[in-house]
Structure 1
Amino acid sequence: MLNVAVIGAGAISPAHIQAYLQFPEQCKIVAICDIYPDKAKQRIEEFKLEAAVYADYKELLQRSDIDLVSVCTPPYTHADTAIAFLNAGKHVIVEKPMASSLEECDAINEAAERSGKILSVVAQNRFTTPMMKLKHVLDTKLIGPIVHAQIDSYWWRGHCYYDLWWRGTWEKEGGGCTLNHAVHHIDIFQWMNGMPAEVTAVMSNTSHDNAEVEDISIAIARYDNGALAQITSSVVHHGQEQQLIFQGKHARVSAPWKVAASLSKSNGFPEEDKALEAQIQQVYDEQADLPYEGHRGQILDVLNAIEQNTPVLADGIQGRRTLELITAIYQSACTGQTVKLPLGPDSPFYSRQGILENATYFYDKKTSIENFSDNTITSGGNA
């Protein structure tokens, strides 16, 4: 039985709590920590937990009976918190984004390697049946080499969304929609398609003059083999349609699921390749549905990895790659230059201080409230 502590009792914490409660034979939540203890107490009462309340995570470092922690705090706190618990010999699940800079990612990964403990970065959209099926189809190479990918991470958020005290600032949130909304689609994209060789990007703030950060960005990624990808990150799209499309030389597949394949007529125009479409569809249909999806699926992956000493699907290396691609988008958009990958300490956006000094500030943060009365979260589309 693994004893669990949840650090941060904000809007994302119920996803972790509910997931842990799905596996009572493997784990038990024994502590909830938040700088606002009343919020921690509310979560304990809401989920009928037998857990202690803490206002400072450092107090929890002294508890030898805690095996695993979920870090559900704002992004700028992830590194210090995760490193402290790894150094204390605890396994760590850290919410997305992994940290607010690549320098912090590297420090977290170094701490994980030193401790020998498991580090998992939340990428709950990987742990869904459609994404696992799509990944399996891509791994078969039936669609041929990928020549183009399209990532539409379309969300919509009202003006007051950025009134929350830590949102809408480079210092505390680390960025806008590219980092905090499109991170899921960008993570899936790089997991399925690998890292590009270079990125060219632009970004803007069109609708939220109470935030320093962007509310839309558009990036073009190029691979060494000439393949291209376009990534749109947004919180200004009504309808919140989201999709990932992979165009191969032989066929296209996507989430939401669709398959299409073409053969060439003698004049070069297309006709449907029904045989290949049927073959790809069969591969997709033969994959079993996941018993647990989203945070539940990822937390089960971590619990099993701890018990069985096996790797996790979304580790710190994967988390760092996702942030590396996002950082390249920011660096390109802010400098007006194409950015070559990989990014290391020589990047002006490698450190948090470098980001603060070089990022584009669209507007001043005008409002700062402690919490919303309505703290429910709505998700976007089906991608």
Structure 2
Amino acid sequence: MTAASIPPLPDRRRVGVIGLGMASAPHARSLADLAGRIEVAGCFSPSAERRAAFSSRFGLPTVDRIEALLDDPTLSAVLVLTPPDTHAELVARCAAAGKHVLLEKPLDATPGGARAAVSAMEEAGLTLGVVLQHRFRSSVERLAALMRDGTLGRPLSAAVAVRWWRDAAYYAQPGRGSKARDGGGVLLTQAIHTLDAFVGLLGLPEQVAAFAATSPLRRIDVEDVVAAALRYGDGMLATIDATTAAYPGYPERIEIAGTNGSAVLAGDRLEVRLCSGEHIVAGEDGTTLGGGADPMAFSHHHHRAVLADFLDALDEGRRPRVDGREALKVHRLIEAILAASDGGATVAVGAP
């Protein structure tokens, strides 16, 4: 099936997809769920074999040239699902072509590239949404509401734990676990989702102290074990414990202790216990959701929510819930943690 064989349909936004690797599956399912709102003009990969496999699996049209998407005047947005080291360049090309972009995390493999991607879209007056789907979990949304309305009181202490497992087959894939392609290890590639949810709940700290290391389990040039301590302006302290060396992989956790009680997020399950005796439970069952050997072992529902919010933002002329500027916050936290580890000293986080 080719893009040219499908005429435009009225009242649906036409989009293209660039990148048909592992990350494309939840997006393809989300596009199918939202078929009443969106029309896929074409999906591109430089690999003919990958295009054929993707089209056969998901029934979506493919194109063999990226220009077939960027030069299509009826196409208003592009989903960019390629490896991190390609993001800044592809976003710049989309911006030059006048296309809005929904970008898989991270913004780019380098700090400079991340900022360049955001700037390119802002200067073009276009919308950049970033796929950091944990903020769309019902448990995270409920906890955010409880913090906004003061139910937990003032936060005093917090902890993040992402104790996941990735096996030898995962790191055997070309470029996986390399700084050149991925830009980083457990922080930028795996824990970024949980860290982004954490930043969405509590904001950025003022100072970070940290250690980051590569375990002897695999031959990679990025970190897979991290321990960090954070200090906030109001005196709150927090810790981050992140690794892909914890077999067989456990549900990621965010814990917050406040003056009125405590909250624990484990996977997509929220449990809140208040000093008043009230007990609040929300979300799902707290399973690992991709924390084990299979990184894609999760529902696509949160990806669908990200895509739906992106479409709503375009229709309503507003910012997506996680746009480029918002995504820069978690990038700044990760940069500060790695800088603190490299320099052996506390680092001021500063503005993203």
TM above 0.5: yes
Aligned to 2:274: 261
The structure with the largest alpha-carbon Rg is 1
Aligned to 2:313: 305
User: For the aligned residues, what is the CA RMSD?
Assistant: 1.8
Aligned to 1:115: 124
* Structure 1 SS opposite 2:30: helix
Quote the Cα distance in structure 2 between the aligned partners of 1:184 and 1:52.
29
Range with bigger deviation, 244-253 or 206-215 = 206-215
Q: Does 1:245 align with 2:255?
A: yes
Aligned to 2:48: 37
Quote the Cα distance in structure 2 between the aligned partners of 1:19 and 1:27.
10
Superposed, 1:212-223 pairs within 5 Å as 212-223=221-232
Aligned to 1:17: 28
Superposed, 1:89-100 pairs within 5 Å as 89-100=98-109
Deviation at residue 343 of structure 1 after TM alignment = 5.7
Q: Deviations over 1:290-331 (max 9, x none)?
A: xx9410001000111112212210100111111110111111
Quote the Cα distance in structure 1 between the aligned partners of 2:106 and 2:29.
21
2:45–2:51 CA contact under 8 A, matched in 1: yes
Aligned to 1:2: 13
Aligned to 1:156: 165
1:102–1:320 CA contact under 8 A, matched in 2: no
1:7–1:69 CA contact under 8 A, matched in 2: yes
Deviation at residue 139 of structure 1 after TM alignment = 1.0
1:328–1:343 CA contact under 8 A, matched in 2: no
Aligned to 2:153: 144
* Structure 2 SS opposite 1:257: strand
1:89–1:117 CA contact under 8 A, matched in 2: yes
Amino acid at match of 1:261: L
Amino acid at match of 1:330: L
Normalised TM-score (structure 1) = 0.80
Q: Deviations over 1:165-196 (max 9, x none)?
A: 12111111101111111000100000110110
* Structure 1 SS opposite 2:198: helix
1:127–1:293 CA contact under 8 A, matched in 2: no
Amino acid at match of 1:31: G
* Structure 1 SS opposite 2:182: coil
Q: Deviations over 1:255-310 (max 9, x none)?
A: 13122234xxxxxxxxxx31xx25xx39x69xxxxxx9410001000111112212
1:215–1:234 CA contact under 8 A, matched in 2: yes
Equivalenced residue count is: 321
Normalised TM-score (structure 2) = 0.87
Q: 1:128 aligns with which of 127, 137, 141?
A: 137
Q: Does 1:47 align with 2:58?
A: yes
1:159–1:207 CA contact under 8 A, matched in 2: no
Distance 1:58 1:11, change over 3 A: same
Q: Percent identity?
A: 27
| Greater relative contact order (CA < 8 Å, ≥ 6 in sequence) | 1
Quote the Cα distance in structure 1 between the aligned partners of 2:68 and 2:216.
41
Quote the Cα distance in structure 2 between the aligned partners of 1:127 and 1:139.
16
Quote the Cα distance in structure 1 between the aligned partners of 2:73 and 2:217.
45
Aligned to 1:87: 96
Q: Deviations over 1:74-95 (max 9, x none)?
A: 1111111112102211110111
Q: Deviations over 1:12-51 (max 9, x none)?
A: 10111111111122111121111212112211111112x2
Stretches of structure 2 that go unaligned for 5 or more consecutive residues are 1-11, 284-299
Quote the Cα distance in structure 2 between the aligned partners of 1:147 and 1:58.
52
Quote the Cα distance in structure 2 between the aligned partners of 1:299 and 1:64.
21
Deviation at residue 58 of structure 1 after TM alignment = 4.5
1:146–1:246 CA contact under 8 A, matched in 2: yes
